[in-house]
Chains A and B, each alone.
Chain A
């Protein structure tokens, strides 16, 4: 009898047992659904509340001007705790087209271009402005970058930026140039105050503890509305929805408008209107993690069979021993596909993340992750000495992989040390997340090279883990 038929007979048996075992079913299907729900809510709540801890956002910068002033400005941006500036000074500089593609591909959420002829202190209406390519759905990063950008621009302009912005508003409010000049001295001291506020209070961005900027910002928010610059009003429009709820937003748009910025949101046209980055993140993260748990659980049936003695009986039958391993693999893959289907239908109903927009990409992504996750389970089951050891080991490794791979929290938001960054990118969970996020958020399909790389990593992992599983199976199960 061939290995495939044996594997199928064995898988059929395991499937039957699985679906009769209500406890296993509950763990397999309800727990992931609960996780998706809870994390979905938490993540959405966090994103509404401005984020906790010390968030950091990645900003790609292209310095086309390359003057001493703009270079100093970029250096200043690099020093900001809130910003992670790419590419690194030692790396090859990118072009405007490069970063625009990066934003479009979802490689980064924000990219800043400093055009040639740009000067921070030049606020003339026709002066070249900074260009910001950004993903408009990434509000968390946007807020962080606005603060970081303003802080750096303010510091680099020696206060002239602040003053120029205020002067512009005051002139627009009807004051003459002479009257404005009289306010310059107190205004400069306020510059210092704000500078201090931004330097010392950056951990408390959500609490506008300094009352002084508030009256000014009230006056100033009116200025972009009356401004002749159409691009500036685009920028303020994207912030208007925040203005009413968030007292910080008013000041934010005031600050943003002082930095002469040409705001360019890039959004995939097919992205569903209701999808939020956090919902996509939760659905992807919880799917990736719960599949790992579920499929490792399926594989551990191998250990249970060894302990219960049924494996001895199977091994005494006229079937190749490897077919037992492949039977478990087949079982895990089938359960994985069923679980993902249920989870995704639920996720779609709950969060409307547009999961079924591209069935081909979805199927390939699911299959790749199911392959990698089941191989991991097979490795644990064939290498562990007992099911207790296997379960313990699996839980630790899965939790580490899930955390490092970004299943719980978008890692782009954290300031990761290099070692951790490398560790994160070598996790197979990272590439599964990258694939699902690419599909859900950036609406990429299989023709995109970023997606292909994510898939290649997963299949690479699947191959390595499965080879190891076969090696350990032969060593631990096929020798006397």
Chain B
């Protein structure tokens, strides 16, 4: 079977996932175009992380179909499908007793990079993260912001086409957050596609080309911030009010 919209980098069709019979993701559909910055916005428990885990191959028991560049995509079973994906976990998933370079070496090596290609990829990521000068220091000596940047760099080391970020700004100070946003805009400018989850309205509005609003495992609306406002009949309102109208609740209660 092939994808309907051959243009899409990732197409998710009728994706559903349940934990012990309780539906966490309830037959959602969305597609992300190449180079697009796509956001999933929703309160706690909406099913954002579960969706990301299905796309990244961490969960295998999902129903529905996924397509990557028009081809059937099953990252949980097919290891080579994961080559296209980079994940940036919310928690710092880096090794404190290694240097930045060694962290990148390890993750790059595990993605099959070696030799000169690996060295080039490492140098590039160190530069983007602004860590070239500190590359030989142990990560445990880094500031929180530097760790965040390395955490991102480790997900990008194999130059994936699609990067998945699951609430990367939770508990991050404003300065690091800004640096992260700049880095993300930069990799987007270089052609990388981004799937980003958040429950912060401003972030979604500021970063995303298109937003899927998630609630109770369902995507209840999809479009740019502007489109969503118009479609919900509140053309001059912000996303917060749109969300309230669509769900009857504020984003903060969960």
Contact = CB atoms under 8 A, between A and B. Distances in A.
B59 A313 contact: no
Interface residues of B, number: 32
Interface string B11-36: 00000000000000000000000000
A16 to B, nearest CB: 6
B95 to A, nearest CB: 6
Interface of B: 56-61, 79-83, 85, 87, 89-95, 97-98, 102, 106-107, 109-112, 138, 154-155
B60 A480 contact: yes
B210 to A, nearest CB: 24
Contacts of B111: 317-318
Contact of A308 (B58, B91, B106, B107): B91
A20 B87 contact: no
A316 B102 contact: no
A17 B95 contact: yes
B56 A316 contact: yes
A257 to B, nearest CB: 67
B89 A309 contact: yes
Interface stretch (A5-13, A50-58, A227-235, A414-422): A5-13
18 contacts: A10-B110, A13-B95, A13-B106, A16-B98, A20-B98, A308-B93, A309-B89, A309-B90, A309-B91, A312-B93, A313-B89, A313-B93, A315-B58, A316-B58, A317-B107, A317-B110, A319-B79, A320-B79
Given A317-B111, A318-B79, A319-B110, A480 B61 contact: yes
A17 to B, nearest CB: 4
Interface in A274-329: 308-310, 312-320
Nearest to B81: A318
Secondary structure at the A interface, as helix, strand, loop or mixed, is helix
Given A13-B95, A20-B138, A316 B85 contact: yes
Given A13-B95, A16-B98, A318-B80, 6 more contacts: A10-B106, A313-B89, A313-B93, A316-B57, A316-B82, A316-B87
Contacts of A480: 59-61
Contact of A13 (B80, B81, B98, B112): B98
A20 B109 CA distance: 21
A258 B58 CA distance: 80
Contact of B58 (A16, A20, A312): A312
A396 interface: no
A283 B145 CA distance: 49
B20 to A, nearest CB: 10
A26 to B, nearest CB: 14
Contacts of A309: 89-93
A21 interface: yes
B66 to A, nearest CB: 15
A21 B110 contact: no
B61 A318 contact: no
A20 B97 contact: yes
Contacts of A319: 79, 110
Interface string A1-36: 100001001101100110011000000000000000
Contacts of B82: 316-318
Given A317-B82, A318-B79, A318-B111, A16 B91 contact: no
Most buried by A among B97, B107, B110, B111: B110
Nearest to A9: B109
B5 to A, nearest CB: 26
A213 B87 CA distance: 85
Nearest to B76: A480
A297 to B, nearest CB: 15
A275 to B, nearest CB: 40
A221 to B, nearest CB: 66
Given A13-B106, A313-B154, A318 B112 contact: yes
Contacts of B92: 309
Contacts of B91: 308-309
A16 B97 contact: yes
Contacts of B80: 318
Nearest to B96: A17
A352 to B, nearest CB: 37
